[in-house]
Amino acid sequence: MTVRLLLNGKKAAQQDIRDAVYQLRSEGHEIEVRVTWEGGDIERMVRECHEQGVTRLIAGGGDGTINEVVDALLNHDAGSLEVAILPLGTANDFATACKIPTESAYEALLLGITGEAVKVDAARANERHFINIATAGFGAQVTATTPVALKNFLGGGAYTLSGLVQAINFQPFDGIVKYDGKVVESNVVVGAVCNGRMAGGGQPLSPGSFINDGLLDVVSLEEFTPAEIPAVIDELMQGDAFSGRFVKRNQVRSLEWSSGSVMPVNLDGEPLNAKQITFEVLPGAIKLVLPRLSPVLKQS
């Protein structure tokens, strides 16, 4: 098996990565290394892996690098390539949810070389692909200034009145949502289309999602007034399976959003701005190396 590490150039000088590669080579594992330099390198390197008969590539970087690899694989019909992850980002949301080692470059690379690849789902938003989560509305428009309570609202965490009040001051996005034969008018404050479970630096947006069930978990917070805060808080505290008047949760294979204004969307760190967006799941599109009994896999 030919294994090639596609390493984010910003991380190439990290001594622990170099030590891990040298140690694995000394143990008899063959691993090639390619380092990115500029935009477009990941796409080119993925294409080269496919053309040169590489069996497995390891994406060395953060969630954005992983997303870039997945997008390149699917754009170039290279889904036969097995993919592993060396988590090197600040948050490593996807790897953390998958229980891929995030504290040891050696352990992550060892799993990447020796672990078993399983077929998992990817997702598409218009012509762009992602593997973890697409956030929309308020969550995609602001990052560092987003109240922690609002970032947590989908994860069953502790919610505060101040965070909800700040959400009220945000102008919601109005549009039409179509899924499963339904047509629904929506005024979205914040939403997410989830294949994976975590985003935003460890926030469990959809803790019950599986990446091999052929479904996307869609969750949103609809517009509310100050007088409706008690009802919103009550719905937020109901648990991950609850769907009510303000907190909406659904499982879909595809979903269409259309609006008169541009809806800001964040695909695993990559922005997408469009008035019409079609989300759809791509079952079993990626061969991903995961730990045995990874919690994001729905066991048969």
Instruction: Give the residue numbers marked as catalytic.
Output: 270
Beta strands 56-61; 3-7: pairing state: parallel
Q: Residues 173, 210, 238, CA angle at the centre, nearest 5°?
A: 60
Nearest CA to 197 out of 240, 235, 168, 167 is that of 240
Q: Residues 102, 114, 39, CA angle at the centre, nearest 5°?
A: 55
CA distance 209 to 249: 12
